[in-house]
Amino acid sequence: MSTALHTDDELRAATLDIEGMTCASCVARVEKRLASVAGVQAAVNLATESAKVSIPAGVSDEDLVAAVESAGYGARVRVAGSKPAAMDEHDHTDEGRTQLGTRLLVSAILALPVIVTGMVPALQFPGWQWMALVLTLPIVVWGGWPFHRATLQNARHFTATMDTLITLGTSAALIWSVWAMFFGSAGEIGMTHDVVLFGPVHDATSLVYFEVAAGVTVFLLLGRWIEHRSKRRAGDALRTLMNLGAKAVTLATVAGADGPTVPIDELQVGDRFVARPGDKIATDGTVVSGSAAVDASMLSGESEPVAVEAGSVVTGGTIATDGRLVIEATAVGENTRLAAMARLVEDAQTGKSAVQRLADRISGVFVPIVILLSIATLIAWIVFDGSVAAGFTAAVAVLIIACPCALGLATPVAILVGTGRGAQLGILITGPEAIESAGRIDVLLADKTGTITTGTMSLVDVVVAEGVERDATVRRVAAVEAASEHPVARAIRAAVPEVPLVSDFVSTAGHGVSGVVEGETVFARKLAVGELETLPLALGNAVREAQTTTIVAGRLVDGSEVVDGVIFVADTVRDDSAHAVEQLAALGVEVRMLTGDNAEAARRAAIAVGITDITAGVSPEGKIDAVRAAQSEGKSVAMVGDGVNDAPALVAADLGLAMGGGTDAAMHASDITLVRQSLSAAADAIRLSRKTMSTIRGNLFWAFGYNVAAIPLAALGLLNPMLAGAAMAFSSVFVVLNSLRLRAFR
């Protein structure tokens, strides 16, 4: 097939919402079908069940939908401005997880007596096999339907996955057992499995394999439920970002007074609205009148609010901490900066390839080989023994023994133990993909504010003029700051156990506060531009050396300002950050600082913890660029942060780690949440993930090793039920015990 070349000007972009994808094979199949439409380029995202498509001239939306439908999936072109399916608060991902949970719970309850009686001959009471039949039928048919449905879909396209192996094995075990009970001797009351471990099976029709069919179905349902729980988080990140916006807005009158309050959807470009102290700014706009300190940490990552006044540009979702603003809207709806960040998150998820599990990759080869061996076994018995019945028995036995019970445990048990141990250590891991990604990390991009540092302002030093009492100065300033919610004010107030009363309090948004404390008029303000040279020499030198947020404190004496001292407030480095950087280096992980804060603040924090690679003043879009630049170096990249501004980069990275005390958007966008709020937890997460992946690989080796060794026995007609049961039990027990070793991780 020839492919025409198209310039960027000829291409248009579209997003498809796709229904029915369940695994990485589905993603590859959809991408392949879309790519078969001449000139179309597509990136399919399993997490959000969507595809970003570049479409050349001459290709219609209907062509794209038809291509997806030809692969066996549903599709629709997303209308501009509508929410992605993953952002629907009642999306089918959550519904699917609930249905899987129900299937898992019911199947597990029914399977327990089947597995116990099938594998312990002493418990095989008269008629036990009929009880096993009644309980196994709903497990395999209803509980295992998600796997059978995927198998049928795969068969239409001549492909085989883990689902195919599950369907073949469980169906063969069930069908053979039913046939043996109705047409063989397995249905006789009082029948038990022989206890002879070695030697040929003299009566193959006395064998039933209900425990295999039931056990494999339950274990694989557990693994699929874990996958769906992890997948749900993609939608959580998008929903949280959009929920940051205001739901209603107070319009401003022509004179600038408060007008009616209307839903945010009714706000139009050019409308003027009000933002009062503590309000979320409703949408992107320009300040018309008023002044305030605005908490813009969701975009910049800086812990200190930004002073805005008439003419300043503000962003929807940020918060006016003090002062009243009248703002003219410059963008609304999907054109706002917040909506753009949500699109960045979704686009980053699409660009992040789904991790195909090792078991699926092996099964792609293993399943066809098993089918061929089963057919070859049947033919060989007919040719060399002349017995169709014996050949059929051996062929079915090959399929039964090829369905690895231990494989169903290999990944889920290790994941459950590993994630459980992680939770005990303050590390919340979403699932298999996070663990696999964490095990490969060799570069960690760390945000500064709230990650390397505490993210909260605190008083770090006070320098007073000659003859002025230090503690009295701080007490007076804490008193006038007591009525303010500004982070700097809170930091000063927190440093004083008992704050005196203040009267005649005055606050000028963005400039400072004043009031009467213990009979004296006291003022406190942020060091203004050009004020440094007017300070007494000792105070000026202290300011030059500190390079932190500086508050000028003083009193009014005979109507004139007298500066008593300067108070330094800063976001302080976490106690264990330097040690964490050392730990990560010992793991072969290079740590780079990536922050929206200013260069000087970034440099100070980096020096304190031993980081040499620093990028400061970075926007959310710039953080994504930094992640992709590191990935283009061939690095496996982790991003750790705590703010909304970090969310797109957390998704774009191979591994996203969010600080537990950060924003919901960051935690939903991440693969791992560090509840301990410590950079050392990131090092522990990487070590735990590497150990868990090592355990999974060991489990998979033993799970497949058992089958490889047992298949020849089945093919030769030597498959004794007790020998097979003992081998299967040993394989499963080994996998469980091997996984439980993760509980000792330190």
646 and 544 fall within a common domain: no
Long-range contacts of 434-437 (CB under 8 A, 24+ apart): 434/230, 434/655, 434/671, 434/672, 434/689, 435/689, 435/692, 435/693, 435/696, 436/355, 436/689, 436/693, 437/355, 437/636, 437/638, 437/654, 437/655, 437/671, 437/689
> For the residues 506-529, what does the mean pLDDT come to?
82
156 vs 274: which has the higher pLDDT: 274
Q: Hey, is 268 helix, strand or coil?
A: coil
* pLDDT tier for residue 202 given thresholds of 50, 70 and 90: low
Output the domain CATH number for residue 477: 3.40.1110.10
In sequence order, the 6+-apart residues with CB closer than 8 A to the CB of 79 are: none
Q: Looking at the domain assignment, is residue 392 inside a domain?
A: no
Q: Containing domain of residue 521, as a range?
A: 454-572
| Per-residue model confidence (pLDDT) at position 341 | 65
What pLDDT score does 221 carry?
83
Judgement on whether residues 584 and 435 belong to the same structural domain of the protein? yes
pLDDT above 90: residue 639: yes
Considering its fold, how many domains does the chain have in total? 4
* Spatial contact of 365 and 138, defined as CB atoms under 8 Å apart: no
pLDDT digits (tens, 9 = 90+) for 556-593: 888 888 899 999 888 888 888 999 999 999 999 999 99
Is residue 502 located within the same domain as residue 438?
Answer: no
Alpha helices (runs of H) in 610-720, residue ranges in sequence order: 620-632, 647-652, 664-669, 679-715
Average pLDDT, the chain: 80
- The enclosing domain of 584 has a CATH number of 3.40.50.1000
73 pLDDT band (50/70/90 cuts)? confident
Q: Does the pTM exceed 0.95?
A: no
pLDDT for 7 equals: 42
Residues 434 and 475 in one domain: no
611 and 475, same structural domain? no
Cα separations in angstroms, 122 against 116, 192, 526: 10, 9, 82
Please tell me whether residues 586 and 545 are part of one structural domain: no
483 plus 628 within the same structural domain:
no
Which residues are tagged catalytic? 447
pLDDT tens profile 367-392 = 788 888 888 988 998 888 877 667 77
Of the pLDDT bands very low, low, confident and very high (cuts 50, 70, 90), residue 204 is low
Residue 578: both structure tokens together: 């330097």
Domain annotation covers residue 42: yes
Q: Do 461 and 565 fall into the same domain?
A: yes
Tell whether 440 and 588 lie within a shared domain: yes
| Element spanning 458, H or E | strand 453-464
- Single residue among 506, 540, 572 that ends a domain in this structure: 572
Res 667 pLDDT > 80: no
Structure confidence at residue 632 as a pLDDT band (50, 70, 90)? very high
Same domain, 500 and 599: no
Residue 305 lies in a domain: yes
pLDDT at 127: 93
Residues 378, 379, 381, CA angle at the centre, nearest 5°? 70
pLDDT number for residue 344: 55
Strand-pairing partners, residue 516, are: 503, 521
φ and ψ at residue 444, rounded to 5 degrees? -120, 120
State the Cα–Cα distance between residues 394 and 399, nearest whole angstrom. Answer: 9
| 718-723 average pLDDT score | 54
What angle is formed at CA 454 by the lines to CA 452 and CA 460, rounded to 5 degrees? 110
Q: Looking at the domain assignment, is residue 365 inside a domain?
A: no
**In the predicted structure, residue 162 carries a pLDDT above the cut 70:** no
Say if CB 281 and CB 320 are below 8 A apart. yes
Q: Is residue 34 part of a domain?
A: yes
Question: In the sheet where 306-308 sits, what is the strand order?
Answer: 306-308, 292-295, 319-322
Parallel/antiparallel/unpaired status of strands 453-464 and 41-45:
unpaired
Does any domain span residue 728? no
Do 483 and 556 reside in the same domain of the chain?
A: yes
Let me know how long the chain is. 746
* CATH number of 13's domain: 3.30.70.100
CA distance 528 to 218: 68
**Same domain assignment for residues 672 and 581:** yes
Name the band, by pLDDT with cuts 50, 70 and 90, for residue 4.
very low
**C-beta of residue 352 within 8 angstroms of C-beta of residue 648:** no
Residue 713 counted as domain residue: no
Mean pLDDT throughout 193-215?
Answer: 67
Q: pLDDT exceeding 90 applies to what percent of the chain?
A: 19
Instruction: Summarize pLDDT for 307-318 with one digit per residue, the tens.
Output: 888 888 898 888
Residue 247 carries which side chain, given as an amino acid letter?
K
Lowest mean pLDDT among 13-22, 268-277, 368-377: 13-22
pLDDT at residue 20 in the model: 75
CATH code: domain of residue 302: 2.70.150.10
